[in-house]
Copies of this chain bind each other. A is one copy, B any other.
Amino acid sequence: MPDRYRAKLVNSLSGFKSANLVGTADRHGQTNLAIFSSVIHLGSSPALIGLISRPDSVERHTLRNILDTGQYTINQIHSGIYLDAHQTSARYEKSASEFTQTSLTPDFMPDCTAPFVKESKVKYGLKLKEVIDITSNNTQFVIGEITQIICDNSAITTDGYLDIEALNTITVSGLDSYHTTNRLSRLQYAKPNQKPSVININGEPIENDFL
C-alpha cells in the first residue's frame, strides 16, 4: 500500500479516538497548543492519563515543554472549536504560539504554568509522572497525574458520570474526520446470567423490557 493510503487505513482501525488539545509552556512562558487523538484513560485512583508522542512530529514542542516543566493541560474539543483545534496541527515554528494563530484563548489557573484553553468546557491540569519509550516504533508514552479539573458542574450526573455528549465533545476517526455523538444508552454493570440492562443518565435502573 502507498504510505499515505496505509496511514489513513491503519489510523481507522482502532475505532473512534478522543479529541483533545494539550496546552504547554516553555520555561520562558512561550505557550504551545497541539491537538492529540491519543489521549487515553489509564486509571482513576490515582487519576492517570496517557498520551502518545512522536519525537519527530509536529508535537515535539509539546513533549519538550512537558519534559522541561513537568506540567501540561488537557482540554476536550467541542464542536464549536474543532476547526481551530485541527489548525493547531499545522507545522508552526516554535516561536509561533497556536493561541496567536487561531482564535483559541489561553487561560491560566493557580498552581499551573501551562495554559488552559478558555473555550474548552472540560479541562484539567496534569503533572508529569512517567515517560515510557516504546521501542517498537520509537514513540513515547507520556503519563500524567491529574491535579485539578475545571468543568461545568451541571454536566456531572448524580453518580459521577460526566455527560460529555451534552457538552458537545467530539470524537475523531482516521487522521482527519470529526464527529459528534448520539447516546444509544448507558448500561448497568454487567453480571453473569443477567441480561444487559439500560440505566438512565444518572445511573439509575429504568424500564427496559424492550431489550
List A residues at the B interface (Cβ < 8 Å): 1-20, 37-50, 52, 74, 76-77, 79, 82-84, 86-92, 96, 101, 122, 124, 129-130, 132, 134-137, 139, 141, 143, 145-146, 149, 156, 159-162, 164-165, 169-171, 173-192, 194-196, 199, 203, 211
Contact = CB atoms under 8 A, between A and B. Distances in A.
A177 B186 contact: yes
A8 B188 CA distance: 13
Contacts of A20: 14-15
A123 B13 CA distance: 8
26 contacts: A6-B44, A6-B47, A8-B161, A8-B203, A9-B156, A12-B162, A12-B164, A13-B41, A13-B124, A13-B162, A14-B39, A15-B20, A16-B18, A16-B181, A42-B139, A87-B190, A87-B195, A89-B189, A130-B135, A132-B134, A132-B141, A161-B177, A164-B174, A176-B189, A177-B183, A178-B186
Contacts of A189: 89, 176
Contacts of A47: 6, 10, 13
Contacts of A173: 162, 164-165, 169, 181
A205 to B, nearest CB: 13
Contacts of A79: 184
Given A6-B47, A50-B52, A132-B141, 13 more contacts: A2-B160, A12-B162, A14-B18, A14-B20, A14-B41, A16-B16, A79-B184, A84-B196, A87-B196, A173-B181, A176-B186, A179-B181, A181-B182
